[in-house]
């Protein structure tokens, strides 16, 4: 297969992978080398029975799961919906992400599956001490358009690393580990992690050798008025306070098509402290509207972005050092708020 030089956003992807090799946004340790043949004990032909559902979000015979699809603007975005409960839930999540598969009927308008039609998940194995998921696809996995290659990698990686037992993902096809993607040859010499970013955006004039990635959550909306958050990875100047950098970029707003600002550009971030288990973000009074209440969408975006980038599980929102923050949907944010288990819940 031809090897092509990466250009545009693909070069940003390479920069992210190189700069963050061995250090994910969640603080995972270095990725291990590719495994071929399978390690002792690996069983890629059998469904995984050890991976727990996130936060045990099971009701009756159904489980809420977060799947990743492509939206109308081409962004990879999470959709949380209910699927049949099964011991091999991680494998089932991927099966629901196949074009023409059972997840097709669950999608909002404008969303499309990224895994090619007819793709089978032949097996999924977890290597517990490495927090590594090894997923084996059938040969139909290679039947995708070249422009979707990286999006597929992102969708698979982010879906599986949404489970607490997985930090890295290794992609196989027909029983053999892939060292590169089958169509455009994107390298996969090491397992994939969230450090690769998602929906990468180039930054004009950025020195990638002196930059770090931050993942931000902006809002989008379908023609049917379904609002959802889109994760976007942007390169910023290297800093020791990644939480402050993330919020500062949120205030700047999106620079891609179809995304909506969640914070007024006049908003001031006074400080971000992530030295404890709780991230504390202290804003100026611009965070509040005329009624002295904050936008719930803005607060959700802040919480998603801060927990994603700092690895902390909860966020305390303050205004001028005071924690008495109320959203205009009457939600009280006076106490620390936990990281959402599922993003973009969708009910048909």
- Residue 153's pLDDT is 98
Query: Do 159 and 270 fall into the same domain?
Result: no
Torsion angle (degrees, nearest 10) of CA 346, 246, 164, 85: 0
- The two three-digit tokens of residue 313, written as one number: 């599980």
Domain boundary among 138, 165, 196: 196
Query: Do 63 and 191 fall into the same domain?
Result: yes
Distance CA 95, CA 59 (A): 20
3-state secondary structure of 345: strand
Query: Do 63 and 134 fall into the same domain?
Result: yes
Distance CA 136, CA 138 (A): 7
Listed residue (178, 188, 137, 234) closest to 31, CA to CA: 188
Q: Is residue 224 one of the residues assigned to a domain?
A: no
pLDDT tens sequence across 177-187: 999 999 999 99
Average pLDDT of the chain is 85
Q: Is residue 188 one of the residues assigned to a domain?
A: yes
**Listed range (266-275, 309-318, 327-336) with the worst mean pLDDT:** 327-336
Query: Do 185 and 249 fall into the same domain?
Result: no
Listed residue (289, 273, 272) closest to 327, CA to CA: 289
- Residue 5's pLDDT is 32
For residue 64, which phi and psi values (nearest 5 degrees)? -80, 130
Query: Do 190 and 308 fall into the same domain?
Result: no
Distance CA 138, CA 144 (A): 13
Show the CA angle centred on residue 45, arms to residues 40 and 47, nearest 5°. Answer: 105
**Listed range (104-108, 170-174, 195-199, 276-280) with the worst mean pLDDT:** 104-108
Q: Is residue 2 one of the residues assigned to a domain?
A: no
Q: Is residue 269 one of the residues assigned to a domain?
A: yes
At 210, the pLDDT band (50, 70, 90 cuts) reads: confident
Query: Do 144 and 270 fall into the same domain?
Result: no
Query: Do 252 and 184 fall into the same domain?
Result: no
- Residue 41's pLDDT is 39
Domain of residue 304, residue span: 242-338
pLDDT tens sequence across 159-168: 999 999 999 9
Query: Do 107 and 182 fall into the same domain?
Result: yes
Distance CA 43, CA 46 (A): 6
- Residue 16's pLDDT is 52
For residue 284, which phi and psi values (nearest 5 degrees)? -75, 175
With residue 18 as reference, give the H or E element that holds it: helix 9-19
In the predicted model, what is the mean pLDDT of residues 92-114? 95
Listed residue (297, 245, 239, 233) closest to 269, CA to CA: 245
Q: Is residue 187 one of the residues assigned to a domain?
A: yes
* Higher-pLDDT residue of 203, 296: 296
**Listed range (1-10, 28-37, 168-177) with the worst mean pLDDT:** 28-37
Question: Does residue 50 register a pLDDT over 80?
Answer: no
Beta bridge partners of 218: 230
Q: Is residue 204 one of the residues assigned to a domain?
A: no
* Higher-pLDDT residue of 342, 14: 342
Domain boundary among 196, 223, 252: 196
In the predicted model, what is the mean pLDDT of residues 3-18? 42
Whose tokens are 């799961």? That residue is: 65
C-alpha count within 13 angstroms, C-beta hemisphere, residue 174: 5
Query: Do 271 and 192 fall into the same domain?
Result: no
Query: Do 122 and 251 fall into the same domain?
Result: no
Give me the percent of the chain exceeding a pLDDT of 90. 71
- Residue 122's pLDDT is 97
Question: Does residue 39 register a pLDDT over 70?
Answer: no
Domain boundary among 168, 196, 224: 196
Question: Does residue 154 register a pLDDT over 80?
Answer: yes
Query: Do 171 and 268 fall into the same domain?
Result: no
At 205, the pLDDT band (50, 70, 90 cuts) reads: confident
3-state secondary structure of 146: helix
């Amino acid at each position: 297969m031809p090897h092509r030089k990466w250009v545009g956003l693909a070069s940003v992807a390479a920069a992210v992978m190189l700069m963050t090799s061995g250090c994910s946004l969640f603080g995972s340790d270095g990725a291990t080398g590719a495994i071929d043949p399978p390690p002792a004990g690996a069983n890629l032909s059998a469904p995984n029975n050890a991976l727990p559902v996130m936060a045990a979000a099971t009701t009756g015979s159904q489980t809420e799961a977060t799947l990743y699809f492509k939206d109308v603007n081409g962004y990879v975005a999470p959709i949380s919906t209910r699927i049949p409960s099964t011991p091999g839930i991680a494998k089932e999540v991927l099966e629901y992400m196949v074009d023409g598969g059972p997840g097709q009927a669950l999608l909002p308008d404008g969303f499309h599956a990224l895994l090619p039609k007819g793709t089978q998940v032949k097996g999924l194995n977890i290597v517990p001490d490495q927090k590594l998921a090894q997923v084996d696809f059938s040969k139909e996995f290679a039947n995708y358009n070249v422009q979707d290659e990286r999006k597929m990698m992102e969708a698979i990686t982010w879906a599986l690393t949404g489970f607490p037992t997985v930090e890295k993902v290794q992609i196989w096809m027909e029983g053999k580990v892939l060292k590169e993607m089958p169509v455009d040859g994107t390298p996969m010499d090491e397992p994939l992690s969230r450090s690769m970013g998602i929906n990468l955006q180039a930054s004009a004039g950025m020195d990638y050798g002196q930059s770090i990635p931050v993942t931000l959550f902006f809002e989008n909306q379908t023609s049917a008025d379904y609002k959802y958050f889109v994760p976007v990875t942007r390169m910023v100047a290297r800093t020791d306070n990644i939480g402050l950098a993330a919020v500062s970029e949120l205030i700047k707003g999106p620079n891609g098509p179809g995304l909506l600002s969640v914070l007024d550009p006049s908003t001031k971030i006074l400080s971000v402290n992530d030295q404890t288990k709780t991230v504390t973000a202290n804003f100026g009074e611009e965070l509040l509207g005329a009624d002295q209440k904050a936008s719930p969408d803005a607060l959700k975006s802040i919480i998603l972005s801060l927990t994603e980038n700092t690895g902390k599980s909860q966020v305390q929102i303050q205004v001028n050092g005071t924690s008495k923050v109320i959203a205009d949907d009457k939600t009280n944010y006076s106490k620390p708020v936990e990281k959402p288990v599922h993003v973009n819940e969708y009910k048909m």
